[in-house]
């Protein structure tokens, strides 16, 4: 099948041919005709199958008629990350080279003023992340009642990032008569609920089983000790011994691990860069561009880079950590083996990864091959149990030594029996006539503490303290006469 049989316009076909593509992928061949018929489409396909072109090509064809109005975009594409949004913009530039389309990109890290100016000119295509789109809407700079086509891309990633409430709100702001193109690699229950709510009798285009991995990717496991320095050593060994490694993405679960691993590889002389969510937009785009151009051979990344990034020539993927969500494993290794190319994915496994590994293998319906000896999870479990027991034992010994003083050492706060400490206690107070005195010891008159109108002195124990309440009581009695 060729692109010319899908119903695309001549201008679009010319642009596709200039880009070097001759045959559509399966999802493109099946989704594009339905999109051109103005039908709602539910596309389910693993990453790297050409989902982006399956909605950009028909959109460009349909946008040949009509004109954009200020602050009222004709179409809206929602993406979960800035990188994906920028990538979709590149697709419109590539395939819309023969068209005069105004494309606006609304993402964080960019000036509101610059984005406002693009909206004022009128946007045929508006590509946005949900948060920044709602920011413009709430500022009154964006009107959504003119949207004819809505695209929700990487819907399951939207779910993972907590964007579903924003998506629901945006869908309610757009005309009911719109056309909706909905794409996702997996279909969890919450995504199915969203489909049932906002799509109207959609055509379901499912290319591969949900959460399946590409057959062109060789997947293997490597055993490691549980400490990070053990894993870093295993990673370096995998990189050094990888066959035909041109470039690679190394995935970590946490942003702080991305920074640590980047510094480690850099110290060992590797050509390495880092990519994670805390980087500003310009730094992230520069890093991606350097990786695409080959200026950087190894990119250490968090899962922000795992979805949809168009880096077609990645030869290897390394999972420094097994992902916390098994579906992310599919998206990670999908960065390699794209467009029919061969790829390789290696995952480092420690004794603590038994459940994570089981979840991954269950998700992809495959038992992965080990390089060398596999991890003995039972042995690792016993070692962790012994370490906890030893730590508890050592802690108990320290506690016993410090909890009580030795019997032959002086007790804390113990008084010397040779010292009369009767004066240090507060004895009971006895009232005898007009004289208030302590119960024991000799007495003396308190200097300068006689009350006018009272000829009786107030006597106190020689070494005693004069409490304030006694002074008040004596003044009260003197006043009452």
Q: Which domains does the chain have, with CATH numbers?
A: 3-206 (3.40.50.300), 217-382 (3.40.50.300), 423-480 (no CATH)
**Helical pair 130-138 and 164-173, crossing angle rounded to 10 deg:** 50
Contacts 24+ apart (CB under 8 A), 60-64: 60/9, 60/11, 60/12, 60/92, 60/95, 60/96, 60/99, 60/101, 61/7, 61/8, 61/9, 61/12, 61/36, 62/36, 62/38, 62/149, 63/99, 63/101, 63/124, 63/125, 64/9, 64/11, 64/99
What is the predicted pLDDT for the residue at 208? 64
Q: CB of 149 within 8 A of CB of 179?
A: yes
Question: For the chain, what is the radius of gyration of the CA atoms?
Answer: 37
DSSP strands (E only) in 332-400:
343-349, 369-371
pLDDT of the residue at 464? 54
**Could you say which residues of the chain have pLDDT below 50?**
411-463
Say if CB 40 and CB 179 are below 8 A apart: yes
List of residues 6+ apart from 368 with CB closer than 8 A: 219, 220, 221, 347, 357, 360, 361
Dihedrals phi, psi of 250, to nearest 5 degrees: -110, 120
Q: Give the pLDDT score at 402.
A: 64
* Distance, CA of 124 to CA of 127 (rounded, Å): 10
* pLDDT score for 403: 59
In b/e form, how buried is each residue of 328-362, taking b as 16+ CB within 10 angstroms?
bbbbbbbbbbbeeeebbbbbbbbbebeebbebbbe
pLDDT in tens, 411-435: 444 444 444 444 444 444 444 444 4
Count H helices and E strands in the chain, helices first.
16, 18
For residue 282, the model assigns a pLDDT of: 80
Distance from the Cα of residue 372 to its chain's centroid = 33
Cα-Cα-Cα-Cα dihedral sign, residues 240, 242, 248, 252: negative
- 54, 151 Cβ separation under 8 angstroms: no
Nearest 10 degrees: CA dihedral of 393, 397, 398, 402?
Answer: 150
Cβ neighbours of residue 378 closer than 8 Å, sequence gap 6 or more = none
Going across the sheet that includes 41-44, the strands are: 103-106, 125-128, 75-78, 149-152, 179-184, 41-44, 203-206
**Model confidence pTM above 0.85:** no
Q: What integer pLDDT is reported at residue 350 of this predicted model?
A: 96
Alpha helices in 206-304 (DSSP H): 228-241, 255-267, 281-293
CA-CA distances (angstroms) from residue 322 to 222, 231, 349?
11, 12, 7
For 366-411, what is each residue's pLDDT tens digit?
999 999 999 999 998 888 888 888 877 777 666 666 655 555 555 4
Instruction: Select from 425, 419, 421 the least CA-distant residue to 465.
Output: 425
Rounded CA separation 131/154 (Å): 16
Nearest to 155 by CA among 17, 44, 267, 310: 44
Q: What is the pLDDT of residue 153?
A: 94
Q: Are the C-beta atoms of 137 and 144 separated by less than 8 Å?
A: yes
340 contacts 216 by C-beta, under 8 angstroms = yes
State the distance between the two ends of the chain, measured CA to CA, in whole angstroms: 119
Q: Residue 275: beta bridge partners?
A: 301
Beta partners for residue 258, in sequence order:
none
């Amino acid at each position: 099948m060729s692109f010319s049989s899908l119903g695309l316009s001549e201008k679009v076909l010319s642009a596709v041919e200039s880009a070097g593509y001759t045959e559509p992928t399966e999802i493109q061949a099946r989704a594009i005709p339905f999109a051109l018929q103005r039908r709602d489409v539910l596309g389910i396909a693993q990453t790297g199958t050409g989902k982006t072109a399956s909605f950009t090509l028909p959109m460009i064809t349909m946008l040949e008629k009509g004109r954009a109005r200020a602050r009222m975009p004709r179409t809206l594409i929602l993406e979960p990350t800035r990188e994906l949004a920028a990538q979709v913009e590149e697709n419109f530039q590539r395939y819309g080279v023969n068209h005069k389309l105004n494309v606006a990109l609304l993402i964080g890290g960019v000036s509101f003023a610059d984005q406002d100016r693009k909206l004022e000119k009128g946007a045929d295509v508006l590509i946005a992340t949900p948060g920044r789109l709602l920011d413009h809407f709430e500022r009154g700079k964006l009107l959504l009642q003119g949207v004819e086509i809505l695209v929700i891309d990487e819907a399951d990633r939207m779910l993972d990032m907590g964007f579903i409430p924003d998506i629901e709100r945006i869908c309610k702001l757009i005309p009911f008569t719109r056309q909706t193109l909905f794409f996702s690699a997996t279909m969890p229950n919450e995504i199915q609920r969203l489909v049932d709510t906002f799509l109207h009798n959609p055509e379901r285009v499912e290319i591969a089983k949900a959460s399946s991995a590409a057959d062109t990717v060789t997947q293997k496991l490597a055993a490691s000790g549980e400490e990070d320095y053990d894993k870093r050593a295993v990673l370096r060994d995998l990189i050094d011994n990888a066959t035909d490694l041109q470039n690679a993405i190394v995935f970590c679960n946490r942003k702080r691990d991305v920074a640590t691993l980047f510094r480690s590889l850099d110290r060992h002389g590797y050509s390495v860069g880092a990519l994670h969510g805390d980087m500003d937009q310009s730094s992230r785009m520069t890093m991606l561009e350097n990786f695409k151009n080959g200026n950087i051979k190894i990119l250490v990344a968090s899962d922000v880079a795992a979805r949809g990034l168009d880096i077609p020539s990645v030869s290897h993927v390394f999972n420094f950590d097994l992902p916390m969500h098994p579906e992310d494993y599919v998206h990670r290794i999908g960065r390699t083996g794209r467009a029919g190319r061969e790829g390789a994915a290696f995952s480092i496994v420690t004794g603590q990864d038994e459940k994570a590994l089981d979840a991954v293998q269950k998700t992809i319906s495959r038992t992965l091959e080990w390089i060398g000896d596999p991890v003995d999870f039972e042995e690792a479990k016993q070692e962790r149990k012994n370490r906890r027991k030893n730590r508890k034992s050592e802690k108990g010994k320290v506690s016993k030594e410090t909890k009580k003083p030795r019997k032959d050492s002086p007790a804390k706060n113990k008084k010397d029996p040779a010292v009369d400490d009767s004066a240090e206690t507060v004895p009971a107070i006895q009232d005898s006539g007009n004289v208030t005195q302590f119960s024991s010891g000799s007495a003396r008159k308190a200097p300068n503490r006689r009350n006018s109108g009272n000829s009786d002195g107030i006597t106190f124990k020689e070494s005693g303290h004069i409490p304030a309440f006694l002074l008040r009581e004596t003044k009260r009695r003197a006043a009452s006469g």
